[in-house]
């Protein structure tokens, strides 16, 4: 039998310090070696107990979770799973903590204070196992750490994209996406659609953070949003996203269909629709994450004549999703994280058309402008 995963539970609530170890004790591969009521105690317990994984509450007295995380990553980097407050209150802090180096997060239920943690029990156990496997993996440098300043971008003409790039990504995704999108130029000629496994309530703020760090226009997708050159659409949490070719232009469509591969959103759903609608004009990219979501969809893109790419496992926080696609023979290219942006630009090119305005429109303005985009014609490669 392999050694058990040693976990330190850090939470200011005495009830949580009883309930979380009780949940984790259900799995024989996990051992809770200690608990701590705040960051100061946590740092001492880490030195004494040498845990494999830390679960960390973000809201604590004396030394909060954010300050604790900074010190953990500075002194003795190790996998940290965040237990965050519900998204309306905690999304910004959670995303910042992921940028600082946390492996993953899980939102406490609204009724957690009453002791109701059953809804997250299975997920928490799985995330701890994944975090242990991610031990020693170096995260990409975060393009956004603290709240970034708002920078106006020059608006660009609403042009139909030359190609459609579909990205599927999970654990380790926030930093990886920030890293890649920050390196793609503003005059990029293609559209990007992304499924990031992330709960409902977090994706809108995550899209804004990506928009702040990227020369491209990034927004959370809405049904009917047009696919445009230089636009990045991020699937909302708890929805599926597909693409459709329509008379007025190429659009995304959101769906509440049941989860696929245990996920909603699912990369497979997006990839299959991209393969069906765009064929040889499509590029499928599968990046860091656990499980096999996206592998079969990547195979559909390959069968339709599109280009398929997997992030190299050694540059993933968790290599499960790319590995599944590679093992099935569906990835035609395997590329390191720091080479992805330049590869996509080399395949898609840029559009040097002159800018029409000198200011960045707000999201509504961009959407209204998109509605008047000329109909895109069927293109062949």
From the candidates 197, 240, 263, 272, which is the catalytic residue? 197
**Strand order through the sheet with 30-36:** 30-36, 5-10, 53-57, 80-84, 104-107
The phi-psi region of residue 32 (left if phi > 0; otherwise alpha if psi is between -120 and 50; otherwise beta) is beta
Torsion of CA 137, 140, 142, 143, to 10 degrees: -170
- Cis geometry, peptide bond prior to residue 265 (ω within 30 degrees of 0): yes
DSSP 8-state class, residue 275:
H
Contact call for residues 36 and 8 (beta carbons, < 8 A): yes
d(CA 301, CA 279): 7
274 Cα distance to chain centroid = 19
User: What tokens were used for 238?
Assistant: 């708890």
Whether the Cβ atoms of residue 157 and residue 366 lie closer than 8 Å to each other: no
* SS3 at position 24: helix
- Residues whose CB falls within 8 Å of the CB of residue 111, separated by 6 or more in sequence, listed in order: none
Query: How long a stretch of residues is the chain?
Result: 381
Q: Nearest CA to 325 among 286, 290, 279, 269?
A: 286
Is 197 annotated in the active site? yes
Nearest to 170 by CA among 130, 138, 135, 113: 130
CA distances for 200 relative to 2, 31, 176, 288, 301, angstroms = 36, 31, 20, 20, 27
Q: CB of 370 within 8 A of CB of 225? A: yes
Q: Answer yes or no: 293 catalytic.
A: yes
| From 11, 187, 268, 293, the catalytic residue | 293
The active-site residue, picked from 170, 182, 273, 282, is 170
Give CA–CA dist 96/208, Å, rounded.
Answer: 13
> Active-site residues: which are they?
170, 197, 293
């Amino acid at each position: 039998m392999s050694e058990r995963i040693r976990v330190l539970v850090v939470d200011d609530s005495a009830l949580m310090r009883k309930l979380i170890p009780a949940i984790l004790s259900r799995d024989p591969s996990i051992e809770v070696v200690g608990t701590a009521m705040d960051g100061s105690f946590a740092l001492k317990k880490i030195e004494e107990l040498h845990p494999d994984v830390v679960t960390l509450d973000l809201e604590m007295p004396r030394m909060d979770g954010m300050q604790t995380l900074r010190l953990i990553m500075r002194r003795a980097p190790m996998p940290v799973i965040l237990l965050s407050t519900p998204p309306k209150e905690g999304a910004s802090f959670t995303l910042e903590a992921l940028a600082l180096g946390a492996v993953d997060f899980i939102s406490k239920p609204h009724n957690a204070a009453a002791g109701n943690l059953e809804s997250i029990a299975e997920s928490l156990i799985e995330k701890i196992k994944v975090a242990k496997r991610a031990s020693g993996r170096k995260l990409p440098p975060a393009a956004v750490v603290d709240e970034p300043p708002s920078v106006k971008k020059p608006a660009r003409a609403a042009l139909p994209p030359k190609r459609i790039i579909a990205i599927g990504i999970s654990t380790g995704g926030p930093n990886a996406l920030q890293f890649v999108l920050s390196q793609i130029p503003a005059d990029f000629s293609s559209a990007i659609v992304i499924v990031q496994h992330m709960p409902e309530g977090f994706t809108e703020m995550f899209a804004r953070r990506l928009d702040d760090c990227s020369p491209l226009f990034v927004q959370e997708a809405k049904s009917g949003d047009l696919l445009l050159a230089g636009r990045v659409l991020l699937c909302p949490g708890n929805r599926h996203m597909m693409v459709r070719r329509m008379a007025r232009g190429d659009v995304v469509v959101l769906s509440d269909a049941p989860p696929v591969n245990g996920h909603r959103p699912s990369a497979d759903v997006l990839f299959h629709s991209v393969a069906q609608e765009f064929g040889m004009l499509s590029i499928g990219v599968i990046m860091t994450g656990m499980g096999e979501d996206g592998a079969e969809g990547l195979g559909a893109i390959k069968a339709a004549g599109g280009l398929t790419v997997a992030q190299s496992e050694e540059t993933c926080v968790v290599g499960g999703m790319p590995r599944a696609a590679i093992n099935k023979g569906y990835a035609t290219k395997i590329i390191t994280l720091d080479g992805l942006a330049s590869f996509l630009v080399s395949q898609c090119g840029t559009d040097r058309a002159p800018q029409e305005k000198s200011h960045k429109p707000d999201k509504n303005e961009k959407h209204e402008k998109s509605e008047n985009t000329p109909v895109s014609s069927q293109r062949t490669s």
